[in-house]
Amino acid sequence: MRKLPMKQVDVFTDGPLAGNPLAVILDGKGLTSEEMQAVAREMNLSETTFVLPSTTPEAHYKVRIFTPLKEIPFAGHPSIGTAHALVEEGRIRVKQQLTTVRQEVGIGVLPIEIEQLSGGRHVITMTQGAPRLGRTITDLTDLAQALGIPADEIGPDQLPVQVSSTGLDQLMVPLRSLQRVAALVPDYGRLKEVEKRLGVSGCLIFALKTFRPEAHVHARFFAPSVGVFEDPATGSAAGALGAYLVAHKVFGPENPVSFNIEQGLEMQRPSLITVTVHHAEGMPSLVKVGGRSVTVISGELTL
């Protein structure tokens, strides 16, 4: 029998039992891909990560990321939560106010910045993949039916439904009403078919109004095509949303743009995600996503 050290970390929150839970297997050496997938099913969280030695001298460590259904090449809260766990384990040494390490993931090597706060706390910020805006969706009939809302509730202020990516293609869906976002009860079967037809890994539904004064965007994320019906805090989609909002000049000419997303309130797992977008003449060029994390479980997985 093998005993694998692990942690469960709540990401994008400064308190336990909120944010997005992540299982971190601190030593994935010797596990096959099939075993990793089975462990992710057992954890039954939106993602489980496996820490491995890097395969390139450019990176300090490698992370493989699995949803309950499949491996994905990149994700936000797994990157930040894994770095948090490695700091706690002493495998990332934070010796100054700002420490930078580089993680290897499926889309390449990406920087992780760790800002040391008082009392041993820290904020972790990841640089995401190159921002890219994809096609706009003009026929909203199937999407509206999958979300259970009239099509005219979608697209305030001429904001389009559009594919956006900082490593994963995801669908950005603006709604006119904060209350409509909060009350959504999607038809997950229909939404899964919409995702598959559009080739996206989830839909971020958002409003430019919030419940919390420190937030600027209220969001919910659904990804039934990868086995995640609703996610309480989604770093990859937050970055993709940042690129989308900057490209559509929602925040004006300020550079860089920095804003907060509230997510998870409908799941009783409130989270706060900070997004920073650098741009060149309004086109997003660099996206960072950050937040706090809390460890809630430390132990061993027995296989």
Q: How far apart are CA 112 and CA 83, in angstroms?
A: 8
Q: Clarify whether residues 273 and 153 are in a common domain.
A: yes
Q: What total number of domains does the chain contain? A: 2
Q: Clarify whether residues 105 and 150 are in a common domain.
A: no
Which CATH number characterizes residue 31's domain?
Answer: 3.10.310.10
Q: Clarify whether residues 75 and 216 are in a common domain.
A: no
Q: How far apart are CA 117 and CA 278, in angstroms?
A: 24
Q: Which residue has the tokens 């920095």?
A: 258
One pLDDT digit (tens) per residue for the chain, 303 residues:
899 999 999 999 999 999 999 999 999 999 999 999 999 999 999 999 999 999 999 999 999 999 999 999 999 999 999 999 999 999 999 988 999 999 999 999 999 999 998 888 899 999 999 999 999 999 999 999 999 999 999 999 889 999 999 999 999 999 999 999 999 999 999 999 999 999 999 999 999 999 999 999 999 999 999 999 999 999 999 999 999 999 999 999 999 999 999 999 999 999 999 999 999 988 999 999 999 999 999 999 999
Q: Clarify whether residues 271 and 153 are in a common domain.
A: yes
Whether 94 contacts 259, CB under 8 Å = no
Q: Clarify whether residues 156 and 62 are in a common domain.
A: no
Q: Clarify whether residues 13 and 124 are in a common domain.
A: yes
Using DSSP's 3-state secondary structure scheme, residue 156 falls into: helix
Q: In one letter, which amino acid is 278?
A: H
Q: Clarify whether residues 186 and 38 are in a common domain.
A: no
User: Quick check: is 214 catalytic?
Assistant: no
Q: Clarify whether residues 107 and 155 are in a common domain.
A: no
Contacts of 263 (CB under 8 A, 6+ apart): 12, 218, 219, 220, 221, 231, 232, 233, 234, 238, 271, 273
Q: Clarify whether residues 118 and 137 are in a common domain.
A: no
Q: How far apart are CA 66 and CA 56, in angstroms?
A: 21
The pTM assigned to this predicted structure is: 0.97
Q: What is the per-residue pLDDT for 140?
A: 97
Among 34, 35, 42, 47, the active-site one is 47
Q: What is the per-residue pLDDT for 302?
A: 97
Domain, as residue range, for 262 = 132-290
Q: Clarify whether residues 75 and 148 are in a common domain.
A: no
Q: Clarify whether residues 197 and 239 are in a common domain.
A: yes
Q: Clarify whether residues 191 and 215 are in a common domain.
A: yes
